[in-house]
Structure 1
Amino acid sequence: MVTAEAAMAVVRAARPVFISAHDGIVFAANAAFLADGYSLCAAGPAALMDRLPADEVEVGFEGWNSMYNCYAFLYSKEEEGKKKCILMECLRIADFLAINARDLEARHKKPCNVHINVKDFFSEEQTRKYKDLYKNFPDFINILNLSLLAELNGKDAAAAQNPNVESSSSINSSGNVPCENPSTRITEPAGSEYVLWENRSIRMIEP
């Protein structure tokens, strides 16, 4: 089971730039996979190429939020002699984020999917710390443990749940989530400031 502390540590270490609240939730989901021992093999358009990752390939986060309204991450993990190759796709639907994850090495298995209400877990308050960008972060990680990671790892869902965290009402199962529009949106931090999150009226920075 991934803990909220471990996932947040990944977010802080990566220091990602968020252009929207959906960016923040997507990257937190990515952080949960990394905290669970998965290696990132591709992000953004590269993750949607029709190929399995080479064993030695591990990449950075470049291009992770470069597609319009959708995201994709490709992970690999070897456990007990079995290799997993996980494709996580996320689609922005109004205030919701639809997350679909499937093991490309086990095509007979159905994908795992969940809908997340972004407003339940991401704050639009001005802040200088990553941890303050999120609301109910342990609840969000618990949803990922139950809906995605436990299923993908072949673990019992009950064993993956933190008994001290109640499931959020924003969780909702859905169908497959394809990323179909590869249009890019490129952004960079302004000047010497490090941008945490930015919209038309609010910009959050961390020195």
Structure 2
Amino acid sequence: MDLKTLEQKFKEKNNFKKIFYHNNASKKEFQRLEFVGDRVLALILATEVYNKFNKFNEGKLANIFSYLTSSIILAKIAKNIKLDHYIKKKKFNNISNKVLSDFIEALLGSLYIDSGIKNVKNVILDLWKEEIIENKNLKRDAKSILQEWTQAKGLGLPVYKVIEKKGLDHNPTFQVELKVEKHKKITSEGKSLQNAQKKTAEHFINNYIEEKIIVK
């Protein structure tokens, strides 16, 4: 689904267009729609996670739900449908992940008000289908999950530093150190820089996050 297809889901086209107005009255309405969209998204995704992962307990369901509703995933979906490009055309200057997340929620809230729960449910499940499927391999997203957690805790961004590169050029081993504010450093090794960084993120999650985010 792209943004044009999403726009066509609206019965009243102005309910789509008003999301991108700049005046003060529109800003207030945007925030109200964002509020609704957040709740609608939560209801649909919570129900879908419950149905899809019927062998998982409440803790694991909560972890998947938290990931699916994170600003990282909302921003990713916004970029998938080229929402960021559309926002630029509308002369919005700040296009951070948080802003993209807010726009997605406002669009979903406006769609719900416009045409009801069934329509918005179909849109949400279409937009999120790949993310829901890929949650079975959530371990590969450890770096993103850790970053979301540190930002939510006010700890800034995780810092990865290459400590050593060993072996031959065609078969190297990287030793990487991970530093998160207020926590001890963690080191891991991998056959690629990306793999070593992923391992340090996984180790941090297993060591320091009480509710394990990685679903096994």
Q: What TM-score does the superposition give when structure 1 sets the normalisation length?
A: 0.25
Instruction: Mark the structure with the bigger radius of gyration.
Output: 2
**Bigger helix fraction:** 2
